[in-house]
Structure 1
Amino acid sequence: MEHVVDARQLLVFLIAAGIVVPLFQHLKLGVVLGFLIAGIAVGPGGFGHLVPLYPIFGYATIKDASVMQGLGDLGIMFLLFTIGLELSFAKLGSVGRLMVGAGGLQVALSTAAIYGVAAALGFQFDDSLVFGMALALSSTAIVTQSLVERQRLGAPVGRTALGVLILQDMMVVPIVIIVGILGQEGASVGASLIKGIALAAVVVVAVVVIGRTIIKPLMRLAGATGNRTLLIALALLIIVGTGAITSHAGLSGALGAFLAGLLLSETEYRHQLDVDIEPFRDLFLGLFFMTVGMTIDVVAVMGQLPLVLGALALLISIKLAAGYVACRLAWMPRSVSIETTFVLAGAGEFAFVVFTLAARDNVVAPDLTRLAATIAALSMVVTPFLGVIGARLAAYLDKRRNQSAHGVSADEGYADHVIIGGFGRFGATVANLLQAEGIPYVGLDLNAEHVEHAKAEGQTVFFGDATRPEILERLGGARARSFVATPDDAGVAEKMVAAVRQRWPDAVVHARARSLGHARALLDLGATDVVPEALEGSLQLAGLILADVGLPDDAIDQRLSVAREAARAQLREDFSDPATVRPRAIDD
């Protein structure tokens, strides 16, 4: 009968995930938030409150989240395993400084700040210290998955956040030991902290040494059989086994899985394992996010709404301040510090473990641990939103910094020149040819790396938006010989052409087109001449083929010129045919 109950709960999970998660994906709110909201809905604190009034809700309620918690923990382990596969030990060295510097400072400052605020509010020493240690850590699963969804894990914010999270996982042992000591009389917290850190370091080194000795030969032995199922089974055994070792030693099981990923990243099976583990990871990780949502009691939160929201805002504010100071002290750029701070501003899953231990050992009163756990869970729910806010703030700061360093400040007296919008590979090639002929030009690009690289080579390029007429005017747009639209983004090229044509109706506008359809769109918007990339690429390939069959260079150049002019004539003819032209509108 127990298996039937478990099957029903699993069915509820699958149905809730199948409805809520696609909806949140459609709304572009992220899979993580979708699972969290689904967990709140089907948990005992959601639909569970409606069961006494409407028994039918019992079929849509998971009454005991702990039944699925073990499977959810596997999701965290699989996630950290795949991250380890992508990193490797060589790449891990690049986040070592971040782990020790930013990570250590973030944990220390957050713990101290939360402790200080709690003590100032009148809480006892034990309560304040437990709150500080539990809430200082962030959610490895939610943070990393949110970064993956927004394709930020490989960015500086991703590397910084990962370094901090690894350090936080290593702090699990000292925190567990300290909580246990607080329940005893006369024990030394300082000595136990040193003992815990030493134990964590020993366990990590032991896992790495033993893993390098055993794991690689095992994987090669399994690979020699050619049995893909055996490889998957062995990988699962390694993940769960290393996780069990670190968990038994008091560390996070996810840290063990991460180390397993690092060990297997040095083998030739890393890419295949990444693909094979992905379905397990996504399923179990969804279970974990839902179990977090199930810990939130909607009725209890509404009953103490001012207190809960106030405490939540206070927690996030404290962690934002402490995290930013930690990142800046670790010499991180301001924009990276802000985005990393927002990503890590929520609490983590380990807070539930700490509060459970504290309540069991009578270190903190049960009602306080329940309230603190609710606040921690809510902070995890808002973590994806905080990440988006941090990313936007960081992008704004980067734009302001680049505008200040490379931006156009005034009309610098340009005349009879060419304005190039978009200074990537295509725009830089155009500029080099103009420079070789002594024709003055000025470039614009919103990619700071393109601008800095071009300036380092002595080219006249500014950070700016080529679709804004006021910026083009500062570059002498009214006196320009012509405009060249070469952005990588097709929509940006169209907006630039439209902006130039609207401001200077008689201007000459050359444009790069990504396709023939895009070329027609640019001509429709007023481009004087358009060069489709597909056309030039095909002509270059044809030229190579003609050279291979023995035609002389002059003949090849003549034939390509004829073909190029014929293609352009056809493009203009298509454009002039009313049946093939449709009016287009460009959004402001």
Structure 2
Amino acid sequence: MTEHLLTQSLSMIMVSAVAVGLFAALRMPAAMGYLLAGLAIGPYGLNLVALGDDTLFLAELGLIFLMFMVGLEFSLSTLLAARTDVLLAGSLQVGGTLATIAAALWALGLDPRIAILLGGAVAMSSTAVAMKQLAEQGEISNQHGRFALGILLFQDIATIPLLVAVDSWSRQASVDPFDLVVRLGLAAIALIAVSIIARPLVRTVLAGASKSRSNDLFLLAALFVALGAAYLAHLAGLALPIGAFIAGMVIGGSDFQHRVEDDLRPFRDVLVGLFFVTVGMQIDLRLIVVFPYAILAWCAVFLFGKALITFIVGLLLRRSAAVALRVAVILAHGGEFGLLLLTLAMNSGLLTSEVGQPVLIALALTMGLAPVLIQHSAALVEHLVGDRRARVAAAEDALRTTSESLDQHVVLCGCGRVGRLVATAFEEAKIPHIGIESDLARFKEAQRQGHAIVHGDAAHRRILSAAGLAKARLVVITFDRHSAVERILKFASEQQVAIPCVVSTADDHDITALVKAGANVVFPENLAAGLALADQSLLLCGLTQEEAGRIVTTLRAELNPELRERVGI
């Protein structure tokens, strides 16, 4: 028995590591790697691991920790501060999607419970996938990024009543509104009760564990709170993840929130990964041949139907067509909580395999497609909203008007927080320059501060040409979109006299690639901040300016020795 469990565990870990590593290299979400691993080792693949009670128990632990971490990030103050994006936009998007899908399925003859459940699963998008991709593109703080984040936060919260509904309906042969209302009431009462009673108790326990200065004791206390709350919710007739969510809310916003989050994150990541593996083990790809049209139809629902509803919500809240469509594309995929709802419903017998499997497969496919869609959402919106050529031409005219009188100037690509500081330094030094910024909010902020700037995308050859690239003495790039940076470097190197380029990047991971692409100096912000902090710390420790400078200079020379003359710090 022990040998069998060990063999299964090794198979799950080995195949998961290979799949996640492959998807990481392709910059795809880890969740898709875990799903692929489950497909490979499950009963519909190589049949290396059986889907038994032990495997499902580990998966359920993953759900507990997932909802606990969601609760940690839930803050009433955050909701109120962004009430339009979270409460209003989120409720309209989730409610509109759920109601539309449920009504259509009910009209087709499906059980109302199944119709509502499937509508809720479609309404959910992947917070992890969307936020990771937007962060890599440097767009979380943009208008469409903030709007998408608000809706995603509400989607996470909306999972709670849907989990209650799944738990209630799995125990009933038909729709029982009274039972559902009772369970929702129990969840609300539990939420209020823990806010009043359990909050001081839990925080006292964590405070005591923290005062002991024992990391092990604090970790055990946090684990006890998460699992204990899930168990108490189970005793009260609620689903285990709901109790974990409530426990997370109790700790969220306290002094212990970040420490608990850091300590439990490894447990969550591993166990949630196992949950995705078990989901993959339940996906039968043979059904693609059996139900090809159903799977295509559900893919269309995720990619087009859901996007249309999200677009309408954006327009109703008076967002521009471009922002509304951008958010619609960003959210047009399935998410982890949709997988959670479908899997729980199928395991409880509420949802049959014939109905659930096509939705599950379509959800997994759209989730894998999401990073590509988000990455190219800007270009897609440019083609669909307005005349792209007219916009580029307008930006060119503005640039040519501004740059006509400039010669031997600096072209500053990006005027965010870093770019505005660089522009201020140029102004103090009386160095002629022109800034280019594609994000409207950052453009307006730079314009408000009096910087010489035009609105446009510096990654376009015609925009750079209009900015007088051929006459420039230097190009400074302050944003961190790798593909766009490489295009700008290529355009600068193609001039009659190659223009030197300085690139600011968030960290030192891409230094070699950027230098090969043509950057003369790469400025990794993490190294610059670290060395500046080290210099100040050495001075406060009593070293002289000369001693501290010598140490920092030595460290600077040792960093990336193969690129020593190309790294600015």
Name the TM tier (shorter chain): 0.7 to 0.9
Deviation of residue 498 (structure 1)? 5.8
Q: Deviations over 1:155-177 (max 9, x none)?
A: 52334212122122223324554
Q: In the alignment, which residue of structure 2 is the partner of 1:353?
A: 344
Whether the aligned pair in 2 keeps the contact of 1:134 and 1:350 (CA below 8 Å) is: yes
> 2:501–2:519: 8 Å Cα contact kept in structure 1?
no
- C-alpha distance 87-140 of structure 1, shift in aligned 2 (>3 A): farther
What secondary structure sits across from 1:18 in the alignment?
Answer: helix
Residue identity opposite 1:486 in structure 2: V
Q: Aligned with 2:477: secondary structure? A: coil
- Counterpart for residue 341 of structure 1: 331
Instruction: Note the C-alpha offset of 1:289.
Output: 0.3
CA 1:258/1:340 → structure 2, altered by over 3 Å: closer, same or farther? farther
Q: CA deviation at 1:306?
A: 3.7
Distance 1:255 1:581 in 2: 55
Give 1:324 deviation, angstroms. 4.0
| Contact 1:295–1:377, Cα closer than 8 Å, also in 2 | no
Name the amino acid aligned to 2:115: G
Structure having the higher Rg? 1
The Cα of 1:284 is off from its aligned counterpart by 0.9
1:432 Cα offset (Å): 4.4
**Larger mean Cα displacement after TM superposition, 76-85 or 314-323:** 314-323
Letter in 2 for 1:459: H
2:362 equivalent to 1:379: yes
1:114-193 to 2 correspondences below 5 Å = 114-121=101-108, 123=109, 127-138=110-121, 143-147=126-130, 149-150=132-133, 152=135, 155-156=145-146, 157-174=148-165, 176-177=167-168, 183=174, 189=177
**SS state at 1:46 partner:** coil
Normalising to structure 2: TM-score of the pair? Answer: 0.74
Say if 1:312 and 1:375, in contact at 8 Å, map to a contact too.
no
d(CA) in 1 for partners of 2:94, 2:524: 54
Deviations 1:243-302 (A, max 9, x none): 233444455433432332333234433333333212211221111001101111233443
Map Cα deviations across residues 311-341 of structure 1 (whole Å, 9 max, x no partner): 4444654433344444554566415631453
CA contact (8 A) 1:20 1:34 kept: yes
Secondary structure, aligned partner of 2:286: helix
Structure 1 residue identity aligned to 2:113: V
Residues 547-558 of structure 1 mapped to structure 2, 5 A cutoff: none
1:484 to 474, 482, 499: 474
Identity of aligned pairs, percent?
A: 21
In 2, are the aligned partners of 1:172 and 1:252 still within 8 Å (CA)? yes
Distance change >3 Å, CA 140–CA 387, structure 1 → 2: same
Kept in 2, the 8 Å contact 1:142–1:383? The answer is no
Q: Deviations over 1:26-66 (max 9, x none)?
A: 23333211110111121112224xxxxxxxxxxxx222244
Shift of 1:219: 0.9
Count of aligned pairs: 511
| 1:471 corresponding residue in structure 2 | 463
| Cα separation, 1, equivalents of 2:54 and 2:19 | 21
CA shift digits 1:463-498 (9 cap, x unpaired) = 3344654223334556x5x44311136987786566
Any unmatched runs of 5+ in structure 2? 547-563
Equivalence for 1:457? 449
Q: Find the counterpart in structure 2 of residue 224 from structure 1.
A: 211
* Distance (Å, rounded) in 1 between the aligned partners of 2:288 and 2:519: 58
Quote the offset at 1:216 in angstroms: 0.7
Tell me, yes or no, if structure 1 residue 32 matches structure 2 residue 57.
no
C-alpha separation in 1, matches of 2:331 and 2:213: 46
Aligned amino acid, residue 166 of structure 1:
I
**Alpha-carbon deviations, 1:426-471, whole Å to 9, x = none?**
6545644665688764322345444222112233312334465422
Distance 1:343 1:259, change over 3 A: farther
Structure 1 residue ranges without an equivalent (≥5): 49-60, 360-367, 552-579, 583-588
The verdict on how the C-alpha distance between 1:342 and 1:494 changes in structure 2, with shifts beyond 3 A counting, is closer
Taking only aligned residues, the RMSD between alpha carbons, in angstroms, comes to 4.6
The alpha-carbon distance between structure 1 residues 147 and 421, as it changes in their structure 2 partners (threshold 3 A), is same
Task: Name the SS for the 1:485 alignment partner.
Answer: strand
1:44 is matched with: 43
Matched, 1:392 2:340: no
Deviates more, 1:195-204 or 1:371-380: 195-204
1:337-393 deviations in Å (ceiling 9; x for gaps): 31453144783322233355565xxxxxxxx72112212321342243243244235
Higher alpha-carbon deviation: 94-103 or 207-216: 94-103
What is the CA–CA distance in structure 2 between the aligned matches of 1:229 and 1:71, rounded to whole Å?
22
Q: Deviations over 1:516-548 (max 9, x none)?
A: x999x9999798x9999999x99xx99xx9xx9
Contact 2:411 2:433 in 1 (8 A): yes
SS in 2 for 1:62: coil
Report matched runs for 1:199-210 at 5 Å. Answer: 199-210=186-197
How far residue 151 of structure 1 moved from its aligned partner, in angstroms, is 6.3
Q: TM-score, normalised by structure 1?
A: 0.72
The aligned residue for residue 416 of structure 1 is 405
